[in-house]
Structure 1
Amino acid sequence: MSNTKLSLTFRFLRAIGLNYPEEEYGQVGLLTVIGKFFSNPYHMLLLSMMNWVIFEPIAPRMLRPFLLRRMGAKVGKNVYIGDHVNFDQNRSHLISIGDHVHIDSGCRILCHKRDLSNYHINDDYARLPYKEQPVVIGKGTSIGMESFLMPGVTIGEGVVIGAGSLVTKDIPSWCIAIGRPAKPIKRFIPREPQA
């Protein structure tokens, strides 16, 4: 891409009030930016439909998982998604949710954050590139109300995340994890065979 096209793209972005870092959008043309601009309202419509009261009887187990799939996420069978769960709408293709997962109301699932690995005194935070990382939620997991899942975490199978937790690191299978940051506090054991 020529410097002329790059400068036109960046001038256009800055003219409409967007301060995107050149490192992140150096290979992006103006048409790509315009395409993103028009895909955002579609994703916003899908997100808003998740909380329309008229759909409430079917929303948690049918509508919300369906709409999240339409946004590009991998969503298993019999998934429950509570109201006002927020997903990283432009990076929802990085979200993977196993079968029988239960995500309570008010949770947030994020798939991007600023890359602070080369951040120093007097640097402009707004010009840092984003680091995109997947979020994986294992089969049969329950995420408590108002919890945050940060980019790059994998939550194992059968995990119970306590309400209000901040998951910043991987959580192993079959445990209860709570806190900010979330840490395993109890491991589940196999059921004793009945005599």
Structure 2
Amino acid sequence: MSSEKLSFTFLFLRKLGLNYSEKEYGKVSLWQVIRRALKTYKDVFLLKFGMNSWLLSPFLPRKIRPAILRSVGCHVGKDVFVGDTVHIDAGHADMLTIEDHAHIAGGVRLLCHQRNLRDYCVGDDYAKLGYIIKPVVLKKGCLVGMESFVMPGVTIGEGAIVGAGSLVTKDIPAWTIATGRPAKVIKQIPKREDA
């Protein structure tokens, strides 16, 4: 991409209030930004008004909310439960995988991107930092408790339980219970012994 075109795109995106990091401008064209913005607005509209409709509330958790997540690009398995006011990273919905029988309680946020603070120093402009963009995977039968945050790059293992209000920054192993800010494993779920 020529420096003239890069400068125009850079300046135009800044004028629109889109504050991509300077490292990302070489990867972004104005048309890509417009297409992504239109898709994101459509998806956010569906998420905002479809996910919490009082009229459809009896059907929302297991039928409509999972269907809406699929329609915006998430990979959603069978018999998934999605509580009210669940927020996903709409701009990166395709990076979210929710396997069969997973449960997401109300108020959970599933994030696939965050600012990269690795090289952030005194005097730097936070708005110019790049992003870490990684998938989030909720394995079969896991539960993410109410008002929890799941950060980019996290996998919550099969059958794992994340306690309410947790901040999940690292993978949670299968068949464990984790809680806290940041979430830490506090218990291994035992195997059932035959009577």
Measure how far apart 1:172 and its partner are: 0.8
Match of 2:31 in 1: 31
Measure how far apart 1:17 and its partner are: 2.0
3-state DSSP of counterpart to 1:120:
coil
- Whether the 8 Å CA contact 2:6–2:25 is kept in 1: the answer is no
Match of 2:133 in 1: 132
Match of 1:174 in 2: 175
Measure how far apart 1:149 and its partner are: 0.5
Gaps of 5+ in 1: none
Match of 1:6 in 2: 6
- Whether the 8 Å CA contact 1:112–1:130 is kept in 2: the answer is yes
Listed as ranges, the matches of 1:1-195 within 5 Å are 1-48=1-48, 49-194=50-195
Distance 1:55 1:4 in 2: 52
Aligned pairs, how many?
A: 194
Measure how far apart 1:73 and its partner are: 1.2
Measure how far apart 1:179 and its partner are: 0.9
1:91-137 CA-to-partner distances (Å, cap 9, x unmatched) read 11111111101111000000111112222221111101111011111
- Whether the 8 Å CA contact 1:5–1:29 is kept in 2: the answer is no
Distance 1:98 1:34 in 2: 31
Measure how far apart 1:170 and its partner are: 0.9
Distance 1:190 1:18 in 2: 51
Gaps of 5+ in 2: none
Q: Percent sequence identity over matched residues?
A: 53
TM-score when normalising by structure 2: 0.95
Distance 2:129 2:120 in 1: 8
Distance 1:74 1:33 in 2: 23
Q: Once structures 1 and 2 are overlaid, which stretch shifts more, 164-173 or 10-19?
A: 10-19
Structure 1 runs (4+) deviating above 4 angstroms are none
1:22-43 CA-to-partner distances (Å, cap 9, x unmatched) read 2112121111111122112101
1:129-185 CA-to-partner distances (Å, cap 9, x unmatched) read 111011111111111110110111111111111111111111111111111111111
Cα RMSD over matched residues?
1.1
